[in-house]
Structure 1
Amino acid sequence: MMLAKLTVWYNTRCPVCDAGIDWQRNKLLALVRAGTIEFRDINEQPDALAQFGATLDDIRRRLHATDEAGGLIVGADVAIALWRLTPGEGWLAALFGNRAALPFTRFVYDRFADLLFAWNKRSGRW
């Protein structure tokens, strides 16, 4: 199976985000080494997704990714894309990314992301 390139943008200043991506990256090490998946810190290139209208705060609030075709993926859909690629986690993508569950998954992800974003702002992690 040929995998398309995925570039995931995240906030390394958020300790929860940084730890989560580090954990995921380690599980996807072979794909990272092959260049199939790339994880990038938005704080190093704050305008990287400006062509999509995504601000630095948008990316600090929710995961963003670009695919090989140049499309933008946001929030829970990024997590689902990563689960699909992660050995042993395809069942998470099937469970939370199916047509019936996806609206609920997105809602829960967005509320958690909002809380985490507010916590990081209050803690001065900018």
Structure 2
Amino acid sequence: MSMPQLTVWYNTRCPVCDAGIDWQRNKLLALVRSGRVAFKDINEEPEALSAFGADVDAVRRRLHATDEEGQLITGADVALLLWALTPGEGWLATLFGNRLVRPLTRFGYDRFADVLFAWNKRKGHW
């Protein structure tokens, strides 16, 4: 099997994150089965992104991914890539990823991620 086109790292202990990724994985089942997209739990490989300076809490705070060139992608940009790859959701990537809206998309994603991270800490989802 060749290297995945996109490897998405997320926190399975967060019920919201886990459900969202499970839903997205099911929509991308053909790409997952072909090995072009992979979803990995950062809790199983906590040092996986340390070469990028990303620790477990960074991934628990927001999505991280690596592309086929080994580049790190974070936050809203991961969501935009997933939408672009997902049949029927390319319009979301176009709408929220255009150069005028993308800064707002990133800002909104980051604020939501901060709230979700704090909630997970309070609930003990580690």
- Structure 2 residue 46 is matched with structure 1 residue 46: yes
TM-score when normalising by structure 1: 0.97
Q: Give the TM-score, by structure 2 length.
A: 0.97
Query: Distance between the aligned counterparts of 1:35 and 1:55, measured in 2?
Result: 25
1:115 aligns with 2:112: no
The two structures, once aligned, show a CA RMSD in angstroms of: 0.7
The amino acid across from 2:35 in the alignment is G
**Which residue identity lines up with residue 44 of structure 2 in the other structure?**
E
Post-superposition Cα deviations, 1:91-126, rounded to whole Å, max 9, x if no partner, equal 000000000000000000000000000000000111
Cα distance in 1 for partners of 2:8, 2:58 equals 14
- Aligned-residue offset at 1:13: 0.2
Partner of 1:96: 96
Moved beyond 2 Å, runs of 4+:
none
Q: CA deviation at 1:55?
A: 1.0
How far does the alpha carbon of each residue in 1:66-115 deviate from its partner, in whole angstroms, 9 at most, with x for none?
Answer: 00100000000000000000000000000000000000000000000000
Unaligned runs of 5+ in 2: none
Alignment partner, residue 67 of structure 1 = 67
Structure 1 gap segments, 5+ residues each: none
Task: Report the AA paired with residue 88 of structure 1.
Answer: G
SS of structure 2 residue aligned to 1:69:
coil
